[in-house]
Structure 1
């Protein structure tokens, strides 16, 4: 098991600008190990409409050639779950598991350091995700699956708290 110090970027979190004003600064803030609580809401009226799960994720950012950025997301056990490649022109490529594996989309960093992702699927549905930090060690995400008619089908809310190592004495 590794702690945040082994997966974090060269810059300690306290030295990064907050809120982030560039994609690179935003992704650098993502580096590390995170405890998460995800609540999923089915919006189809079914009896099983809500589910909450706890988990752990690791994130590692790296700058790539031609001004692109990459974020690799793993589970708490070291398995890679997905890889997001951010092109300088706003293009997004997702590789990994699940229904959005191998999907192309768009990204935009909004004022105040909020990252918005839009990933269309083959059936006309779109996954809209908003990610933001309220503090350097508290990250929030909301995700909505919208069908081809614009009707929300599923929503997720996730709060993530950065795991930090105890100060050395």
Structure 2
């Protein structure tokens, strides 16, 4: 249970999405697997960077739906993820003229982790909380019929302030 009496980790998708809302400080690591130009002494196969992420909860467009998320770098364009109760999601990217740029499916596991699978299964993303203000994300890109080609991991700490 959290401090406000709601279950932690969240047991339903709407509560999970609401918990994602906030300003996050992120440490991101990106890995290119099997990079042809990477030698053992070369660090071009991975990179790490710090970032700021702003996430807002989007109220459902229709009754009975879970809602969505608006997220992007602080001061930058935000993409929207719209979740449907049947287990599908769509991503609306501002750089694609506000059109849906990708679709996939979602599943909230019994452990409270959210798994997103891009249509076609080439990318799987997992988002989970270890504490209400500590969120972890990972994704792996696996081209159809191939081995993983890229992986990403992010640890995100919610910015909180006492008033």
TM-score by length of 1: 0.82
Aligned structure 1 segments of 4 or more residues deviating by more than 6 angstroms = none
1:135 matched residue in structure 2: 131
SS at structure 2 position matched to 1:102: strand
SS at structure 2 position matched to 1:111: coil
Further displaced range: 68-77 or 155-164: 68-77
1:32 is the counterpart of 2:28:
no
Q: Is the 8 A contact 2:140 2:152 kept in 1?
A: yes
SS at structure 1 position matched to 2:101: coil
Cα deviation, residue 127, structure 1: 1.1
2:64 matched residue in structure 1: 67
Give structure 1 stretches of 5+ with no counterpart. 1-12
Cα deviation, residue 74, structure 1: 2.2
SS at structure 2 position matched to 1:116: strand
Give structure 2 stretches of 5+ with no counterpart. 39-43
Cα deviation, residue 84, structure 1: 0.3
Please give the alpha-carbon distance, in whole angstroms, between the structure 2 residues aligned to 1:29 and 1:156: 22
Q: Is the 8 A contact 1:34 1:58 kept in 2?
A: yes
Query: Which aligned pairs between 1:17-166 and structure 2 lie closer than 5 A?
Result: 17-45=7-35, 46-47=37-38, 48-64=44-60, 65-68=62-65, 69-77=67-75, 79-96=76-93, 102-120=101-119, 126-165=122-161
> What is the Cα-based RMSD across aligned positions, in Å?
1.9
Q: Is the 8 A contact 1:72 1:80 kept in 2?
A: no
Cα deviation, residue 96, structure 1: 1.4
1:4 matched residue in structure 2: none
Cα deviation, residue 51, structure 1: 0.4
Q: How many residues align?
A: 150
SS at structure 2 position matched to 1:80: coil
Q: Is the 8 A contact 1:85 1:94 kept in 2?
A: yes
